[in-house]
Structure 1
Amino acid sequence: MERLTDHLIIISFDCLSALDFPILKDLPHFQKILKPGAYVEKVETVYPSVTYACHASIVTGNYPNRHGIINNTLVQPGWRSPDWNWHRDYINGTTLYDEAKKAGLVTASLLWPVTAKAKIDYNMPEIFANRPWHHQILVSLINGTPGFQWELNKRFGHIRKGLNQPALDDFVLESTVHTIKTKKPNLLMVHFTDLDTQRHHHGFSSNEALAALQRHDIRLGRILDALNYSDIYESSTVVLLGDHSALDENKAIKPNVLFRKHKLITANARGKIKNWMAYCKSCDGSAYIYLKDSNDTTTLAKVEQLLTSLANDTDSGIETILTGAQAAEKGADGSCSFMLEAKSGYYFLEDIEGEYIKEITADDVMADPKYTLATHGYSPEKENYETILMAAGKGINPVTIPFCRLIDEGPTFARLLGVSLGETDGRVMEELLII
């Protein structure tokens, strides 16, 4: 299959929304992509619309229940900080970067989710030290490309301040610029999270979110300059995308509080879970309900009765309740017993203590990262919840397209590189390409 570009640069601005377009169209470096390039006005995300599920869908062209990344974190009841779906091995089937490498292309990735221990030539995976005895640099080194990461940390590690933003994205930016100049990869995937962080902490339309968009414009300008410096700008394709949008909220729903009250969860005197029969696993704006024993019909009936009572309560914060089969139809994890969708203004926590609903204040957000003022994870069917796609450069047809799905991006990117992801849930957007 013919390659349509020599260098594909995919930049993911986490939590970039279709609603951001009126701001983006006036920013100088975004204009460099929008004016000569293609623009998809609304991109439908996946369910649940959390970062890891979304990014796995982007590189596979499949829905979460097919590629296997059905949430950000694993089901580990009682763990204060569950492990994340960091590793490539968690993805079922092939990926964009796998196929690019098979084709002999040079691949690079900077903090792209679900790439730990992936076969990427130059890989700095998104993974963090999740236990007190872990060291961040060591965790990164052993899960990515050691020499590549060591050099980046030696050159730019002083910029980073742990996981704090905007310093983390500033570190990623310098690493990206250096990678372009020294490696000239055929496929480069970059993940920036500044905007997502600001929206979580301060709200969707906050001044802090606006400042993050402006910082992203400056970052984009630096990347475009690096392509020019390296004499590969004319032979490159630059794609800018979001993974999901976000919605403001100020109330947290805690179904596990009810499960504990009804003896479906038991805990010790310190509030640590000893045993569970049913558990609510948060996806922020949605949540899975799992049974420890999926064949336990007595517990299933008890849980269904509890959820039905919540559905009939207008103050429960729950908008819809899906069965596992209905969740699978929407691309989510069909092995759950139920899937809950929060009303706008609400999201889910896994706490087993306190009141069923917790009112969130700015002080709560400052004190504990589990509290937020805007979040995602909601159904793609929520109103004004689409993300966005922009692309310019070699192989791109300068058109405006009203709609596509997140799962259509991977097959389209594969076509640009002259490779295939095989049979996927998504399709190649040929109207976006000059073939």
Structure 2
Amino acid sequence: MKKQRLYMISLDAFGAKDLAYARTLPTFKYLLERSALVEKVETVYPSLTYMAHTSIVTGVYPKTHGITNNTYVQPKRKSPDWHWYAKDIKVPSLFDIAHEAGYTIASFLWPVTGRSKAINYNLTEIFANRPWQSQVLISLWSSSPKFVFNLERKFGEMRNGIKQPELDHFLTAGIVDTIHTKNPDLMAIHLVDLDSTRHEFGVDTKEARAAIKRMDDHLNQIITAMKEKGIFEETVLALFGDHYQLDTHTVVRLNQLFKTQGWLKESKAGMIQEWDVLAKGADGSCYIYTKPGVNLADVRNSLEQHSEQIEAIYTQEEAADLGADATCSFLVEAKKGYYFVSDSDGPFLEEISRAETTAFHKGTHGYSPKKENYETTLFISGPGINSNARIPSARLVDEGPTFLHAMGLEFPQAIDGKVLATLFN
């Protein structure tokens, strides 16, 4: 079987609303003119990066693939561990299927790929989360060590830890080098600068537009390398967002509320030690977990007192129907402008300063995919793709099946997504 080369480029926090500005930039304009377009793509719920990226490569919703939040439920930890490792995914991924078909795979910061057995050249998205860990060592341990060591040796001076935009500059240099030296059959790329920028400055800001402009330059470098290698015309190139963001003005601490109700206790250091009811934030939404014996009607009643901040309260069954964690007791959705954090150490509501630097997000995600003007997008080009195809809407879970179809492969398991057949000749 002839292997069909595929490059998947995830533009973190790039929304359908960004297309208008993107079309004014040279590389985006060039790509959009030669691509089929799915204008609006519905993300998953809660719409967080790790859940979204795992749904893209599995074709199923979070409750099925097992990544139902970015981080683990670890209330005793100030900084919970993230789902960095591929072993957390409960179903075969696009990487597993391509690997079995003999594909050479390179991955750059694609979430939930740590220590993947399927990926040949892997630079994992991970950070040192313990005082004794070093960023370089944890990256080497979770990734392909020789590959990452060489990237560090060649381009390490471009990087400033995991800070942006330097990290995406380092990433792009590594991608260009990998195209020339490794020429993988499948490339998975995750550009994160825009997401970080929107968290720090807000959604529709001059800083966000500057980040999209930097993204345009990164794409230009990647395409130039593909053309120099002579592989551009024969590669299926898919570019897509994972979620959009919304501006925020207030942080909500539901665990502070639960503390006043006597449902959880803190240590002197302000860490949650014991709990009967626990809020696990997912930014624009929040999971509520309860221990056996808790009266759920009391918990619901407590939440209903805060309708100014909470838009919807979903039961366990409703959360599962939405594709979210089927083990939660409730899933609550924030009203626009509000978002949830997991700590209990601070006021129930805390206003976010727009004027100065803050630890809080001025823009964020995690909200329901049904929120207005919250869709992301997908454009795809290359062999077998009908560049004139235009689809008004699809779902994130449709992307993986569609990408595999472009490669002549398919998922072995039952999936929630479907192949977007209209995109093909």
- With the shorter chain as reference, the TM-score category is over 0.9
* Deviation readout 1:258-277 (Å, 9 max, x if unpaired): 11111111113332322111
CA distance in 1, matches of 2:179, 2:381: 17
Quote the residue 2:317 is aligned against.
325
Does the aligned pair in 1 maintain the 2:75–2:271 contact within 8 Å?
no
Q: Against the structure 1 CA distance between its residues 70 and 353, is the aligned structure 2 distance closer, same or farther, given a 3 Å change threshold?
A: same
Q: CA deviation at 1:363?
A: 6.1
CA distance in 1, matches of 2:368, 2:417: 18
Partner of residue 332, structure 2: 340
Does residue 352 in structure 1 map to residue 350 in structure 2? no
Q: What residue ranges of structure 2 are gaps of 5+ in the alignment?
A: none
CA drift of 1:410 comes to 0.1
Name the structure 2 match of 1:380: 369
Whole-angstrom CA distance in 2 between matches of 1:330 and 1:33: 33
Identify if the C-alpha distance between structure 1 residues 262 and 297 changes in structure 2 by more than 3 Å, giving closer, same or farther: closer
Aligned equivalent of 2:202? 203
Is the Cα contact below 8 Å between 2:201 and 2:362 reproduced in 1? yes
Give, in whole Å, the separation in 1 of the partners of 2:368 and 2:286.
11
Aligned AA (2:382):
G
Say which SS state the counterpart of residue 361 (structure 2) adopts.
coil
2:103 match: 105
Q: What is the identity, as a one-letter code, of the residue corresponding to 1:303?
A: V
How far apart, CA to CA, are the structure 2 residues paired with 1:186 and 1:258? 51
The answer to whether the aligner puts 1:302 opposite 2:294 as a matched pair is no
Q: 1:63-95: CA deviations, max 9, x gaps?
A: 000111001011011321110011101111101
CA distance in 1, matches of 2:355, 2:289: 32
Partner residue, 1:430 = 421
SS at match of 2:279: strand
**CA distances 1:103-140 after superposition (whole Å, capped 9, x unpaired):** 00111100000000112011111111111101111111
Shift of 1:353: 2.7
TM-score (norm 2): 0.97
- Counterpart pick for 1:394 among 383, 398, 423: 383
Q: Matches of 1:113 and 1:106 in 2, distance apart?
A: 18
Structural mapping, 1:407-418, within 5 Å: 407-418=397-408
8 Å CA contact retained: 2:4, 2:408: no
Which runs of structure 2 are paired with 1:86-125 in the superposition (5 Å)? 86-119=84-117, 120-125=119-124
Q: CA RMSD in A?
A: 1.3
Q: Letter of the aligned partner of 1:430 in structure 2?
A: A
> Aligned pair 1:25/2:23, yes or no?
yes
C-alpha separation in 2, matches of 1:272 and 1:9? 43
Could you tell me which amino acid in structure 2 is paired with residue 284 of structure 1? D
Displacement of 1:367 in angstroms is 4.3
Equivalent position of 2:57 in the other structure: 59
Residue matched to 2:14: 16
Cα contact 2:75–2:273 (8 A) shared by 1:
no
Identity between Structure 1 and Structure 2 (%): 45
Q: Which residue of 1 aligns with 2:269?
A: 270
Aligned partners of 1:48 and 1:302: how far apart in 2? 24
- Tell me how far apart the structure 2 counterparts of residues 330 and 402 of structure 1 sit (CA, whole Å): 22
SS at match of 1:310: coil
Letter in 1 for 2:362: L
Measured against aligned partners, the alpha-carbon deviations of 1:360-398 in whole angstroms (never above 9, x if no partner) come to 00467x242xx0111000000000000011111122111
Deviation at 1:354, TM superposition (A): 2.5
SS of structure 2 residue aligned to 1:401: strand
Distance 2:346 2:380 in 1: 47
Matching residue within 57, 72, 76 for 2:70: 72
AA aligned opposite 2:380: A
Q: Distance in 2 between matches of 1:274 and 1:405?
A: 39
Q: Give the whole-Å Cα distance in 2 for the aligned partners of 1:87 and 1:268.
A: 30
C-alpha distance in 2 between matches for 1:301 and 1:57: 32
Structure 1 letter corresponding to 2:284: G
1:310 shift after superposition: 2.4
Cα distance, 1:269–1:144 mapped onto 2, change above 3 Å: closer
1: CA distance, partners of 2:202 / 2:266: 34
Equivalent pairs counted in the alignment come to 422
Give the secondary-structure state (helix, strand or coil) at the position aligned to 2:69: coil
3-state DSSP class of the match of 2:305?
helix
> How far off is 1:351 after superposition?
2.2
Contact 2:236 2:383 in 1 (8 A): yes
Letter in 1 for 2:172: L
Secondary structure at the aligned position of 1:81 is classed as coil
- C-alpha distance in structure 2 between counterparts of 1:279 and 1:383, whole Å: 29
For residues 135-284 of structure 1, the aligned pairs below 5 Å read 135-284=134-283
- Tell me how far apart the structure 2 counterparts of residues 47 and 186 of structure 1 sit (CA, whole Å): 31
Partner of 2:32: 34
The 3-state SS of whatever aligns with 1:380 is: coil
C-alpha distance in 1 between matches for 2:65 and 2:358: 35
